[in-house]
Structure 1
Amino acid sequence: MKTLQIKTAQNVNIKFRVANVGMRLLAFTADNVFKFAYLYIVYTVFDFAALEKVFNGDNWTVQAISVLVLIPVTFYSLYTEILLDGQTIGKKLLKIKVINEDGFKPSISDYIMRWFLRIVDFNLFILIAVYIYSVDVPNEDLIIGLLFIFGKLVGLLLIIFTKKNQRFGDIIANTVVIYLKDEVKFSDTILMNLENEYIPTYPNVIQLSDNDVRIIKDTFKSAKKFNDYKTQIKLRSKIQEVTGIVSKHKSDAAFIETVLKDYNFYTQKM
């Protein structure tokens, strides 16, 4: 399986395994099962022929309702990846996730770019077909048929043959899909997911090194799991001693979590 090597701000290398084409194809299939299930339920519940009678033959209104019904399917991968932190339901089931090539959480614009460029990865034939029909090319039906097959395979072929198993949307958005059930888990590194509107509290955290933060995170994770408050107090005291930070939080746990997030914020921006 291909690997992704991420170099942190302090030149520490972290390796992740890249999700292979089989994983991504299964996740894609699972997502489409959910989409078709939604459409089946909606079109079973709603009688669109009856709606035309309700609106006195106003076909435009019925079409508008049809478009609204399709919105959850059209934007499915976009809003699920944003809301589920880089995962659709299918990706969650297959334990794979979208991250930035630098190892951080993709921005909303990255997710939008990935979603928008699906038209190239999976529907390229539509763009070319429109052009062919407009210029009257001989044997256009055969060409369109071949383009349909090729157009649906663009994303799949790119995932197979690119170095980091990236489709076109990934390449442009600077993202990669990783396998989470790995020897080095995302949660075991110093990396943390931050809200897009996150505001840091302690600028002095930049005095810490990646190794310092890794030790702090591992120790804090263990102390929190076993309710070891003495260790949390020692951690808080050591962080304050090294950085000169004065805690603004009432609890040691909240202070340490903020320090970890602030460090990620400042190193991501560097």
Structure 2
Amino acid sequence: MKTLQIKTAQNVNIKFTLANVGLRLLAFAVDNVLKFVYLYIVYKIFDFTAIEKMFNGDNWTVQAISVLVLAPITFYSLYTEILLDGQTIGKKLLKIKVINEDGFKPSISDYIMRWFLRIVDFNLFVLIAIYIFSVGMPNEDLIVGLLFVFGKLVGLLLIIFTNKNQRFGDIIANTVVIYLKDEAKFSDTILVNLENEYKPTYPNVIQLSDNDVRIIKDTFKSAKKLNDFKIQTKLRSKIQEVTGIVSKHKNDTEFIETVLKDYNYYTQRM
């Protein structure tokens, strides 16, 4: 598998294993099975013919109901990745997740960009087909058929041939998909010692991910070793930007140490 090496501001190298196309296809298949199960259950429960009769042919109302029914499928990858910290259910089962190229948790706007650009990665043919039908071209059916096949392969081909296994949505959103094969070791690297009576200060640290804390800890460790206070200040600013925390400490060192302890408190003891 390909790897992604990230160098932090203090020249700390962190290596991630990139998820290959096989893992991503399997996760994609699992997610689609869940979508089909949802549709099957919905159409077994609801009698849409009866709904049409109920509204006496009011197509707008019927269409609105259809949109509401399909919304959980349409936005599935978006809300699951936001709620499950970069994972859909399929990704969680296959132990892969989305992270920012810098190793941090993607922002909500990053997730939205990835989701929106699926139309290019998997449905590019739709956009081109609409154009072809609007202008009229010879052999329209053949061209649209070829575009259908090609359009569905755009995302797959990009994952195979790009250096970081990125589809178009990943490239624009600056995200990558990593394989969590070293998840156990990964968790060990973010542990810090806590006193039994330790009381946390910053509940908002739970907005950080394990990836974020790993980078924070490694960078902070190097900065302390070299007495590089500028890096600690930058690190404190980044933590505050991501979490919205307002520091209650007199210096950056105490603040960052408390953040690391608080994260361990909330994730390991609760």
What range is the shorter-chain TM-score in? 0.7 to 0.9
C-alpha separation in 1, matches of 2:165 and 2:255 = 45
Secondary structure at the aligned position of 2:5 is classed as strand
User: Does the alignment pair 1:86 with 2:90?
Assistant: no
Question: Does the Cα contact within 8 Å between 1:190 and 1:210 map onto a contact in 2?
Answer: no
Report the CA distance between 1:245 and its aligned residue.
Answer: 3.8
1:144 paired residue number: 144
Q: Deviations over 1:99-151 (max 9, x none)?
A: 00110000000000000000000000000001111111111100000000000
C-alpha separation in 2, matches of 1:36 and 1:182 = 32
Secondary structure at the aligned position of 1:165 is classed as coil
Report the CA distance between 1:57 and its aligned residue.
Answer: 2.6
Return the match for 2:262 from 258, 264, 269: 258
- Label 1:211 to 1:157 Cα distance change in 2 as closer, same or farther (>3 A): same
Q: Deviations over 1:81-101 (max 9, x none)?
A: 000000000000000000001
Secondary structure at the aligned position of 1:86 is classed as coil
Question: Does the Cα contact within 8 Å between 1:10 and 1:209 map onto a contact in 2?
Answer: no
Secondary structure at the aligned position of 1:85 is classed as coil
Report the CA distance between 1:254 and its aligned residue.
Answer: 7.3
> Structure 1: which 5+ residue stretches go unaligned?
197-204, 214-239, 248-252, 262-270
C-alpha separation in 2, matches of 1:63 and 1:246 = 53
Question: Does the Cα contact within 8 Å between 1:16 and 1:182 map onto a contact in 2?
Answer: no
- Label 1:79 to 1:170 Cα distance change in 2 as closer, same or farther (>3 A): same
Question: Does the Cα contact within 8 Å between 1:99 and 1:178 map onto a contact in 2?
Answer: yes
Secondary structure at the aligned position of 1:209 is classed as helix
Report the CA distance between 1:59 and its aligned residue.
Answer: 2.3
Amino acid at match of 2:262: T
**TM-score with structure 2 length normalisation?**
0.73
C-alpha separation in 2, matches of 1:36 and 1:258 = 41
C-alpha separation in 2, matches of 1:246 and 1:169 = 36
**TM-score with structure 1 length normalisation?**
0.73
2:23 paired residue number: 23
Report the CA distance between 1:243 and its aligned residue.
Answer: 6.6
- Label 1:208 to 1:3 Cα distance change in 2 as closer, same or farther (>3 A): closer
User: Does the alignment pair 1:131 with 2:146?
Assistant: no
Q: Deviations over 1:44-89 (max 9, x none)?
A: 1000100122223322211110110000000000000000000000
2:207 paired residue number: 195
Secondary structure at the aligned position of 2:4 is classed as strand
C-alpha separation in 2, matches of 1:101 and 1:122 = 22
- Label 1:194 to 1:5 Cα distance change in 2 as closer, same or farther (>3 A): farther
Q: Counterparts of 1:110-189 in structure 2 under 5 Å?
A: 110-182=110-182, 185-189=185-189
